Every structure is written in C-alpha cells, then in structure tokens.
Structure 1
Amino acid sequence: MTAGTEHNREPDSDLVSIIMPTYNCGAFIAETIATVQAQTHPRWELLVVDDCSTDDTADVVGALAKDDPRIRYVRLETNSGAAMARNRAMELAQGRYMAFLDSDDLWHPDKLRRQINFMTSRGVAMSCTAYAQIDEQGVPTGRIVRSPTRISYNRLLLDCPVGNSTVMYDVARLGKFEVPNIRKRNDDALWLRMLRTEPYIWGMPVVLMRYRLRSGSVSANKRSLVKYHWMLYRDIEHLSIPRSVFHIGVWVLIKTLKMK
C-alpha cells in the first residue's frame, strides 16, 4: 500500500474514512465515538481496529456498531502495535478523505465539515488543526496547541506540531499510504512519508480536537521516546548519523523547554 496506488474502486466522493486503532481503551472509546456520531458532516465510516484489547473495548464498540452501521469493528489476530492496526483500517477505507482519531481523543461537532471546507476552498490535499489538552478525566488543562500555517518535511523533522487526531488528507489526490512499522512515533513517520509526496500539511488555527493526556501513556513518557526518534531518523528516514544526532538534540531541547 503506497502513495499513488490504484484502488479496487474509486473513493466515495464525500465519504470520510475515520481511522481508529485501539488497545484497552474501553473506559474512553464510547465518548470518543459519540463525538464522531455528533459530526455535522454525516457521510463518514468509522474503522475501529482493535490490537487485541484485554478489557471491554470489544463489547463497547460492538454494541455501538450494532446500532450504527457506519461503525466497523475489526480485531487483529495478534497484538501488533498501532502501526499495524492503522494499516489494517486504511486498507479497508473507502472514502475520498481519510481522517485519524485516537480512541481517547474528542472531536468538535464541526470538525469534519470545517476541515473539508478548508481543504476544498484552498485546493490543498492535507490539513491539521489546533487542539486543546484535557486531563484523564476530561477536564481542560488550559493549554492550546496551535498548528503552524504550513508544515514541511524539514519542519516536521525538528518537532511534530501535528496532533494525530486532527489530520485529514485527500485520498483521491495522494492515494493510500502504509504506516511504517515502528511501535512508537509511527504517526510522525506517516506524516513524513506523506510529505515526500505533498509539500505541506496546512494548519487551521481553530481548535477542533481535544487531546487527552493519560498517565503512563506513550506520549506522556518522553524519555522512552528518544530511542524511537532515533529509529525514525535512522531506520525509517535514513538520515545520516550527524543529522540524526542533531534532530534528537533539537527534539529533547524543545520538549525540555515545553516542560518548564
């Protein structure tokens, strides 16, 4: 599955395929799916791919899918990581647009409609939005993360200002992509792969997503991510050792400053 590949069928002209990998998110996923069902753009399909959850995720999503045929639940045979779950969902997607949503984040009701309007009015193929942070209980932290007006490949190497659950792209223009098989930072790896085809991800200044900060989450444990950034730079992007060291240093510095 690579950029520009032919599809077995033409993508549905205004359908949005929503890619949602999940693992042991039964406590949050119903609330997340409710924000999809509340969208003012009604033409969507939600592809939930479960990476072998051991909690009640399957029961929660199964009950919702029973009442809403736009929701499709798929369970992987073995625990394979978020990248493989995303790839499975992307293989199944049939929409003109593809959007990404983590199973504990929340969308604004106008998210899809406003993002499609933004992209079509400007003739751009990829976009992201600003987002607000909430804590594990859903209480706003007061922090808003703004997206730059446009994000290039080289900009993304320095630090990723893109919220995974804000991204949408035009499948009809760019084709389907395969998420690089790296356990963590695979979302960054996907955006970098896309930016080898399209020069920019265009940012919307409006907040259309709430990002949940959870204790013990991958994104919360910054130190453990250093080795995965090294893998991203060296094994996925094939940067030189000096350039990889430089980008690791910049990433650590930026994260340190943000924590102060």
Structure 2
Amino acid sequence: MTAASDGAPGIEIHGVDFVRGGEHILRDVTAVAPAGRFTGVIGPNGSGKSTLLSMVMRWQRPDSGRVLLGGRDVHDIRRRDFARMVAEVEQHSATVLELTVEQIVELGTIPNASGWGRPLGEASADVDDALRTLGIEDLRLRAWQTLSGGERQKVQMARALAQRPQVLVLDEPTNHLDVAAGLHLLDVACGLGLTVLAAVHDLQLAAMYCDRLIVLDDGRVHAVGTPDEVLTPELLAEVYGLDAQVMRHPVTGGPLIVMCGVADDSERGQR
C-alpha cells in the first residue's frame, strides 16, 4: 500500500483545556506524537481519549491551548490541505446512503482528486491497493448495510488508506475486530511510516505496537513515555485500579502485562 508518508508531520498538543456542561473534559493537556511514529493514548473510560482525538481532527476547538500539525495550528490549515494530510478511523461509523464497499473506500480518494466532484464508481489504484492491504477484496461489491461490525471497521481503515494520508488518527481501531484481524490492522498501521495517533483500549496491544504512550486520567496527562517507561505495576494500580505484574514479552522483549485482579485501596494511591 502506497501512502503519502514522506515528511509526515508530528502532532503537538499544548496546554489544551476543554469544558462542556461545566465539567472539565481535558485539563491542561500537553503531549507530542512524534513524526513517523505510533503514539497511543490510553486511560480508563471517560479519561478524555476520544475528546483529545477530536481536538486533533478539528471536530471541536479547545477552550484554551493549541494543537499543532507540523508546527501549524490545525485550525489555520485549509480544509482541503488538512484532508490531504490527515485521515481518521472512528470507533463507530454509519451511513444512511446505500453505498458499496468500493464506493465507501473511494470516498477516501476525493481530497487528492482533481476537483472535489469526481463521481463515485470510478475505481482507482488507491482503492484497489487499500482493499488488498486490508484483505477485503471479496467485499468490494457488498452493501455497507450488510457488513458486520468488524467488516465495517476494516472498510473504514481501507478508506483512510485510500486517502494516502501522512497522519492517521485512530479511535479504538480494533473495536469489533477479532484478535487476528486486530493484529493485522495494527501491523498495517505500523508498517506505513505514517504519524499515527490512536486511542487504544487494550493495554497489551498498546505495549506491543506503540512507540510512545500518553496516559490520560480524569482529563489530565498522568504520564508520557515509552511502553517500558509507562506500563508499570504502580501506574496500572494508580490509573486503572489493577493488581498487575509486568514481565518481559518472550518474543518482542517489550512489556507483558499479567492481570492478577483489582488493586486494593492502598495500591491505588491518590486518583
């Protein structure tokens, strides 16, 4: 799969606050997703992971602070230029239109077309490559409404790849996927040389695939670093309330998390 990875920009998040309904969703979040690396955002449910990704994608504006892409504020980048650089795969995707898989994936090619109005149905090499990369060529003519949740997730990833982005923003990318399909999707994401920022629910997948981790807890950055630096028994107890041991993975050499149960109050520390 060919991607526009040359000179992939990094993402910088500076002092981002976000308040809704009187509640602080993000509090002074500062972090970096380095260019060309896979950065995971982890943390308990409700810690602000998806909200942080929405700031990067410009779906919402911070109440204070800035998000930079390649040194430029994301809101200063022209819409089409942003669409050419950044592709997103959301947790849940839906459409009321009766589109085929091929047509969904072809939507990803629109930002790079000569003009915005190229009709759907004109298959391109980017669509073929994306379908092949995700192993879903046999779904090409299937209607979106007939797909399972896992199949839809693969199709949305193929659409993102057909966009030939420099940056991938993934919100729980293995959602709905079985174990093998989830590993394959992350293998694909890691193998393109893109800047990847992904909210990851599965801690072991975060340990296996991420170069860098941003740990959110109650809307704040609790820790930033490599999986070796971040995924410690102490942090797992403090942030997740887990009693866990961390060992060396016999194949990757990275952290291998062994869940033992729920941490008692003395292990949880001050949340």
Q: Which protein shows a greater Rg? A: 2
Same fold (TM over 0.5): no
Give the TM-score taking structure 1 as reference length: 0.29
